[in-house]
């Protein structure tokens, strides 16, 4: 019921289409139910051999033809309304789901399978659309047929109508019992499908690693296990759902037989004419038919609602903490940053950063070094406010970053990560992401500064070359050069370089270091590096270990200390 209420909340935006669909469904049903009356009247005009009113039958036939044509037109328009309404609702749900993904905290995205998220937005919404469309098309007309048939039957004979009404609840009971069994199976089917999508995406995205470590057999075993579970749940769901139709048909056959027997005795007694009995049998058949259709719709709706439940779970996930109402817009920052008694951990029981203090002056180049897992990248996440601190405060220009709008804070940072990200599109579209109004001259100048211009010009269409998802056939180094070019074009007042040259050859790296030196001039810069040769010129080197700054100073000062940094440095350059 909760899921249905959420579906109705989307449906209310298309109330005119819903009302029109209901009106057309009612017209279709009334015309369909009027047809047996015409048939009965025609039968009553056949009194006996040689006593047939052909003129009357011909008039009834013309009227019947008009009824059939009008029914077809009404049904056609009803289907158009249902299609428009369904796919508008599906579009709205997908949009809301994607909007929510954009607003979800990184902690959620990091802790959930990306393949499962994709499955919810694509496969689950498609399954929901199919069930919803079937529901609109058959549920409205089915309910209207049941109500209309009852009224028509009551107008002919109350006693026979009571026979139909008394036996019918048995059909509803059977359909309800099976529907409850079906829902749990469809939910498990949808969940397992998401798990399977996640595994497929993971394996395809890392196929080189899978083959390099001959992990194919293990991956296949894992896939077969999930696939087997999906087969089992799907088979059970289809088995239970397929019981609905024959079960309700059995009950409906009992109804039809009861009407035939009671109606025959009533006709013999002179209570109704043979033509009315014919109409009644037709109505009995039409009355029970929607129960079959509705039971089929209920089965589809079980699947649709199970899928809808998963997509609504995503839509209702708690978004990242919104900007405060009185949050300030950060203009062009000078680059003054402070961290006071900062504590942070991804998991409460595993402490990471504790009592962290930092003072950075405008234009300073701050290098962050330390062993893997010491908190270097975590510090970057906190500076960019991808995660909020557990306690303490990080301040930019004397203002707590929690009181600054995320958009204005992040616009003041340029970021080049070790992991590259490029979207499907042209080279130019990827470069101008942070500055959409950049001119061609600005783009070329940025590419030259990043030493990317020469390889871009060698591509088939230069800056208009279309690349696929995540850079397509470009090498890792070329992809990283494009990411560097992206930042070179924006040149914000603060820079974050997280292993920015890790995928670039040594000769190109030396040239890019010079470009970085020019780029960092007068800008506050944070450089995360494992190759300590790249950070010798930094103004301040923060040596981190287990979430704390254990040493701080420039390259020369830290070597003279002969401590943690000296050990790290000497391990890379030991004679």
Alpha-helical (H) ranges within 469-554 are 476-490, 506-520
Please state, in angstroms and rounded to a whole number, the distance separating the CA atoms of residues 394 and 399.
Answer: 8
Q: Which of 60-74, 266-280, 281-295 has the highest average model confidence (pLDDT)?
A: 60-74
How high is the pLDDT of residue 133?
A: 66
Cα distance between residue 248 and residue 169, in whole Å = 10
What Cα–Cα distance (Å) separates residue 409 from each residue in 335, 382, 472?
11, 12, 31
Torsion of CA 5, 11, 15, 21, to 10 degrees: -110
Q: What is the pLDDT of residue 8?
A: 80
Rounded Cα distance, 209 and 222, in Å: 16
Q: Are strands 548-553 and 425-426 parallel, antiparallel or unpaired?
A: unpaired
pLDDT at residue 240 in the model: 77
What's the CA gap between 292 and 314, in Å, rounded? 34
What band does 101 get if pLDDT is binned at 50, 70 and 90?
confident
Alpha-carbon distance values, 534 to 509, 516, 521, 554 (Å): 9, 11, 16, 13
Which pLDDT does position 295 carry in this prediction? Answer: 64
pLDDT for 567 equals 84
Helix axes 169-205, 216-268, angle to 10 degrees: 160
Quick one: average pLDDT of 222-235? 90
Distances (CA, A) of 458 to 228, 439, 462: 49, 21, 7
Q: Is 275 helix (H, G, I), strand (E, B) or coil?
A: helix
410 in Cβ contact with 456 (< 8 Å): no
Structure tokens at 488: 């070179």
Q: In sequence order, what are the residues at sequence separation of 6 or more whose Cβ sits closer than 8 angstroms to the Cβ of residue 75?
A: 24, 28
Beta bridge partners of 551: 543
The mean per-residue pLDDT over the stretch 439-459 comes to 88
The most confident of the ranges 2-11, 60-69, 550-559 is 60-69
In terms of residues, how long is the chain? 575
pLDDT at 487: 86
Looking at the predicted structure, is the pLDDT value of residue 502 above 70? no
Long-range Cβ contact pairs of 435-443 (< 8 A, separation 24 or more): 435/489, 435/490, 438/489, 442/489, 443/489
Flag the least confident range among 80-84, 358-362, 529-533: 529-533
| Confidence band for 299, pLDDT divided at 50, 70 and 90 | low
Q: How far is CA 564 from CA 141, 355, 371, 550, in A?
A: 78, 19, 10, 8
| 120 confidence band (pLDDT: 50, 70, 90) | confident
**β-pairing, 391-396 with 466-467?**
unpaired
Question: Over the chain, what is the mean pLDDT?
Answer: 81
pLDDT at 485: 87
Contact in structure between 144 and 289 (CB atoms under 8 Å): no
Locate 26 and state its tokens.
Answer: 């009612």
Q: pTM above 0.85?
A: no
The pLDDT assigned to 68 comes to 92
The confidence score (pLDDT) of residue 488 equals 85
**Residue 292's pLDDT is what?**
63
Domains and CATH numbers, the chain: 81-315 (1.20.1560.10), 422-491 (3.40.50.300)
For residue 70, the model assigns a pLDDT of 94
- Which helix (DSSP H) or strand (DSSP E) does residue 196 occupy? helix 169-205
pLDDT for the residue numbered 52: 75
Lowest average pLDDT, out of 124-128, 205-209, 357-361, goes to 205-209
- Angle, helices 169-205 vs 274-315, to 10°: value is 30
**DSSP code of residue 124:** I
- Overall average pLDDT of the 53-57 stretch: 82
Q: What is the pLDDT of residue 503?
A: 63
For residue 414, give the 3-state DSSP assignment. strand
What angle separates helix 125-156 from helix 54-103, to the nearest 10 degrees?
150
Q: Which of 78-82, 469-473, 527-531 has the lowest mean pLDDT?
A: 469-473
Does the CA dihedral 508-513-516-517 come out positive or negative?
Answer: negative
């Amino acid at each position: 019921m909760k899921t249905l209420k959420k579906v109705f909340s989307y449906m209310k935006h298309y109330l005119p289409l819903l009302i029109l669909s209901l009106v057309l469904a009612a017209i279709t049903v009334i015309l369909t139910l009027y047809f047996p009356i015409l048939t009965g009247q025609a039968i009553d005009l056949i009194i006996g051999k040689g006593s047939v009113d052909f003129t009357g039958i011909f008039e009834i036939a013309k009227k019947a033809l008009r009824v059939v044509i009008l029914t077809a037109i009404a049904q056609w328009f009803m289907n158009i309304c249902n299609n428009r309404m369904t796919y508008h609702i599906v579009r709205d749900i997908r949009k809301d789901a994607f909007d929510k993904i954009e607003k979800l905290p990184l902690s959620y995205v990091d802790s959930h399978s990306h393949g499962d998220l994709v499955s919810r937005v694509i496969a689950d919404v498609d399954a929901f659309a199919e069930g919803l469309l079937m529901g609109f098309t058959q549920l409205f007309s089915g309910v209207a047929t049941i109500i209309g048939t009852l009224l028509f039957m009551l107008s002919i004979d109350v006693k026979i109508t009571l026979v139909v009404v008394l036996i019918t609840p048995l059909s509803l009971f059977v359909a309800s019992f099976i529907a409850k069994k079906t829902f749990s199976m469809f939910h498990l089917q949808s969940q397992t499908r998401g798990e399977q999508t996640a595994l497929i995406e993971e394996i395809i995205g890392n196929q080189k690693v899978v083959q390099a470590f001959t992990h194919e057999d293990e991956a296949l075993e894992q896939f077969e296990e999930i696939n087997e579970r999906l087969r089992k749940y799907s088979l059970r769901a289809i088995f239970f759902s397929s019981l609905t139709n024959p079960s309700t048909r059995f009950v409906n056959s009992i109804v039809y037989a009861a009407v035939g027997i009671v109606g025959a005795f009533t006709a013999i007694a002179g209570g109704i004419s043979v033509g009315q009995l014919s109409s009644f049998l037709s109505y009995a058949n039409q009355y029970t038919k929607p129960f079959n259709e509705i039971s089929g719709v209920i089965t589809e709706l079980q699947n649709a609602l199970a899928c809808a439940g998963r997509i609504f779970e995503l839509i209702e996930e708690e978004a990242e903490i919104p900007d405060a109402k009185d949050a300030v817009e950060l203009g062009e920052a000078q680059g003054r940053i402070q961290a006071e008694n900062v504590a942070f951990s991804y998991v409460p029981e595993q402490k990471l950063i504790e009592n962290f203090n930092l003072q950075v002056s405008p234009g300073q180049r701050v290098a962050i070094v330390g062993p893997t897992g010491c908190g270097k990248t975590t510090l970057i996440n906190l500076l960019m406010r991808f995660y909020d601190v557990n306690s303490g405060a990080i301040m930019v220009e004397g203002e707590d970053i929690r009181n600054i709008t995320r958009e204005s804070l992040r616009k003041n940072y340029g970021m080049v990560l070790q992991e590259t990200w490029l979207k499907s599109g042209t080279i130019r579209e990827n470069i101008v992401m942070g500055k959409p109004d950049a001119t061609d001259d600005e783009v070329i100048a940025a590419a030259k500064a990043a030493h990317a211009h020469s390889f871009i010009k060698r591509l088939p269409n230069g800056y208009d070359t279309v690349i696929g998802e995540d850079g397509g056939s470009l090498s890792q180094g070329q992809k990283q050069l494009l990411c560097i070019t992206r930042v070179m074009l924006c040149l914000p007042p603060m820079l974050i370089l997280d292993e920015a040259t890790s995928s670039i050859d040594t000769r190109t790296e030396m040239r890019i270091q010079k470009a970085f030196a020019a780029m960092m001039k007068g800008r506050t810069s944070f450089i995360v590096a494992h190759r300590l040769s790249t950070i010798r010129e930094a103004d301040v080197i923060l040596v981190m270990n287990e979430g704390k700054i254990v040493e701080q100073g420039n390259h020369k000062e830290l070597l003279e200390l002969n401590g943690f940094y000296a050990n790290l440095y000497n391990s890379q350059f030991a004679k």
